[in-house]
Structure 1
Amino acid sequence: MEFTQLLRQRYGLPEQDIAQLMEHAAITKHARKEVIIEQGQRDPDLCFVAQGSVRTYVMREDKCVIFSFSFEGDPATSTLGTQPGGLSRQIIETMEPTTLVRIPRTRMEELFAANAGLANWGRLMAEEQLRRHEDYFADYAWRDKGEQYKRMLREYPQLMQRIALKDLAAYLFLTPQSLSRIRAEVK
């Protein structure tokens, strides 16, 4: 599905707001496993996944700690706010060939200030991202990883087709072997 169509269907953005947004957008294409933003790098643009997927993570003691996955229509940025000049605290990397829509943060700030519809869209995305992070930290505290895995299957069925099992294991704070055992029990 095309990015503008996603904005219409998922967020109810009217055509004139989408046109105004896309007027300032740059479309970039990225290969699988391409790093979009390095940890510590300036993040000048708000990026959105038009097609494909990305993961947001940090490396701790040679282990990958995955915070989130982003798919079509999702923001793919280290911080959703419009404040310019921030340094990314995470690494953002594509998981498959990906097309991104990039809009400079400074321009987004101007659009949000001038257009109530776009400002509301930005608020909805920020709330969605916060809910995901709350889910992530709530999941971290779960003791029954089998139940956590079943919940992910129910709520995000597309994950199993699009995410490498080692990445899913890292997201769930499991070894790949433990995830394999849980998957065998769930079947």
Structure 2
Amino acid sequence: MTIEQIIDNVYQIPPISRAKLLTIINEVRLAKQSLVLKANRVEPKLLFIKKGIVRAFVAQPEGEITFWFGKEGDVVLSMKSYVKGLPAYESIELLEDSELYEIQSEHLQKLFDQDIYIANWGRKLAEQELIKTEERLISRQFKTASERYMELLNQNPDLLQRVQLKHIASYLGITQVSLSRIRSSIR
């Protein structure tokens, strides 16, 4: 997915504003298992996925808990670092060799001050991420593991081919054994 498509999917801005935004975006390639954001650190960047898949997780004494997957077109950021400049809650790991578009938050904030269209683009980005977070929270609170699995299957069927089952089970809040039972009951 091109950066222009990603920008437009967030919010369409005039060509002059888009050109300004493009000047602060760098393309990076990183290997599978790289941590692109780390918990307990202020993360000074946001990334967009050109190619690849990531997971956000929190390390707990009993193991890692995956709570989000991102793929082509998605933004990768710590909202806590992006909005408040505070250390991230989560770590974000690449699950495939990936190509990403990187923006330093400091440069983006300067553009927000200079260009109302870019500022509105940033607001729309934050609004979209808030809605996605709300949807995940509501799903986790009010749906059964089977319903969450079916939702994942319907909305992101490619995740099941690209993500290890242990991460999917963690995302659903169940064990791998429970996930196997759900999968066999659907077949």
* Structure 1 residues 20-63: Cα deviation after superposition (integer angstroms, max 9, x where no partner): 11201222211011111221122111222222121111011232
1:1-187 → structure 2 map (5 Å cutoff): 1-9=1-9, 11-79=11-79, 82-83=82-83, 85-142=85-142, 144-187=144-187
Unaligned runs of 5+ in 2: none
Decide which moves more: 173-182 or 145-154. 145-154
Go from structure 1 to structure 2 and tell me whether the alpha carbon gap of 1:44 and 1:143 turns closer, same or farther (over 3 Å shift). Answer: closer
Secondary structure of the structure 2 residue equivalent to 1:160:
helix
Aligned-residue sequence identity (percent) comes to 30
* Cα distance in 2 between the residues matched to 1:172 and 1:71: 18
Q: 1:81 to 1:34 in 2, by over 3 A?
A: closer
Q: In structure 2, how many angstroms separate the alpha carbons of the residues matched to 1:84 and 1:144?
A: 33
CA 1:13/1:158 → structure 2, altered by over 3 Å: closer, same or farther?
farther
Q: Relative to structure 2, which stretch is displaced further, 86-95 or 148-157? A: 148-157
Alignment coverage as a number of residue pairs: 187
CA contact (8 A) 1:54 1:70 kept: yes
In structure 2, distance between residues paired with 1:44 and 1:35: 14
CA deviation after TM superposition for structure 1 residue 143, in Å = 5.2
Per mean C-alpha deviation after superposition, the further-off stretch among 106-115 and 158-167 is 158-167
In structure 1, C-alpha distance between the alignment counterparts of 2:132 and 2:150, rounded to whole Å: 17
TM-score using structure 2 length: 0.88
What is the root-mean-square deviation of aligned Cα atoms in Å?
2.1
TM superposition score normalised by structure 1: 0.88
Query: Following TM superposition, where does structure 1 have runs of at least 4 consecutive aligned residues deviating by more than 6 angstroms?
Result: none
* Cα distance in 1 between the residues matched to 2:143 and 2:73: 32
SS at match of 1:4: helix
Q: CA–CA distance in 1 between the matches of 2:11 and 2:163?
A: 25
